[in-house]
């Protein structure tokens, strides 16, 4: 069985969008949603951490700035706790019904932020990924890539910074490098998009990518 067929019996695809703060995830997820609608593809749009009432509460706990130092292992386990709930309650049921899932971040973000950003390394994440997900993986990861300073300047304009956005620039360089390394290691699943181009060109690249993903299931 190929990896893409593990997810479901209906050829619905599990797409995730990743990238460092300020890469334009929200704008481009709206673009992808419209593209799926235009193709008549049934889909649901969700996010991590979050996507269910319990997982959204965990998101709020994770993102709220606090005086207490958050232990990196506690942070990692909360990400996977939210993910376990999200997969079972939202992602798998949708795919089983033939509904595509468009998810704003998933486990690749854990490799990038906890593995890279927090310097936790990747082995513990691999073990938790296997424990929580078994063989379940996204069919396609669209990685929006941009120099860190450009992204952070954009994110700063959005207002109050969450607990992650308050990290020093070095943290985001490690996050970006971890994403880029994963893209190199998983070329069949990762679609790297240069998000520094004008938006119109970014979206041409995204629609080309989506056409290729769709062609695989037709």
Nearer to ligand TMP, 104 or 139 (CB): 104
Contacts of 93 (CB under 8 A, 6+ apart): none
Residue 109 binds ligand TMP, judged by CB under 6 A: yes
The CB density around residue 127, as the number of other CB atoms within 10 Å, is: 10
Binding mask 148-167 for ligand TMP (x = CB under 6 A): ----------------x---
CB of 109 to ligand TMP, least distance (A): 4
Given a contact cutoff of 8 angstroms between Cβ atoms, the answer to whether 139 and 213 are in contact is yes
Q: Which two tokens stand for residue 50?
A: 């979050």
Alpha-carbon distance values, 140 to 109, 172, 183 (Å): 14, 23, 11
Choose the binding region for ligand TMP from 27-35, 90-98, 107-115, 208-216 (rule: CB under 6 A): 107-115
CB of 93 to ligand TMP, least distance (A): 20
CB of 112 to ligand TMP, least distance (A): 7
Nearer to ligand TMP, 43 or 113 (CB): 113
Residue in 205, 7, 5, 209 with CA at minimum distance from that of residue 106? 7
**Which residue in 48, 129, 139, 145 binds ligand TMP (CB under 6 A)?**
48
Given a contact cutoff of 8 angstroms between Cβ atoms, the answer to whether 39 and 164 are in contact is no
Three-class DSSP labels, 157-204: CCCCCCCCCCCCHHHHHHHHHHHHHHHHHCCCCEEEEECCCCHHHHHH
SS3 66: coil
**Which residue in 4, 8, 16, 110 binds ligand TMP (CB under 6 A)?**
110
CB of 199 to ligand TMP, least distance (A): 19
Nearer to ligand TMP, 11 or 177 (CB): 177
Residue 49 binds ligand TMP, judged by CB under 6 A: yes
**Which residue in 12, 79, 94, 202 binds ligand TMP (CB under 6 A)?**
79
């Amino acid at each position: 069985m190929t990896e893409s067929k593990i997810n479901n019996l209906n050829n619905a695809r599990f797409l995730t969008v990743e990238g460092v703060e300020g890469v334009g995830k929200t704008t481009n997820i709206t673009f992808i949603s419209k593209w799926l609608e235009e193709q008549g593809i049934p889909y649901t749009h969700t996010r991590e951490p979050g996507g269910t009432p319990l997982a959204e509460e965990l998101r709020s706990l994770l993102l709220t700035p606090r005086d207490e130092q958050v232990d990196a292992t506690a942070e990692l386990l909360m990400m996977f706790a939210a993910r376990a709930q999200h997969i079972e309650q939202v992602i798998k049921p949708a795919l089983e019904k033939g509904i595509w899932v468009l998810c704003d971040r998933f486990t690749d973000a854990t490799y990038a932020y906890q593995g890279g950003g927090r310097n936790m390394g990747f082995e513990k994440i691999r073990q938790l990924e296997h424990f929580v997900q078994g063989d379940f993986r996204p069919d396609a990861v669209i990685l929006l890539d941009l120099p860190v300073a450009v992204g952070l300047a954009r994110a700063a304009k959005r207002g109050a910074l969450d607990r992650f956005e308050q990290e020093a620039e070095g943290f985001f360089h490690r996050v970006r490098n971890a994403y880029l390394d994963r893209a190199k290691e998983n070329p069949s699943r990762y679609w790297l998009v240069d998000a520094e181009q004008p938006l119109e060109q970014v979206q041409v690249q995204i629609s080309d990518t989506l056409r290729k993903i769709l062609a695989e299931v037709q």
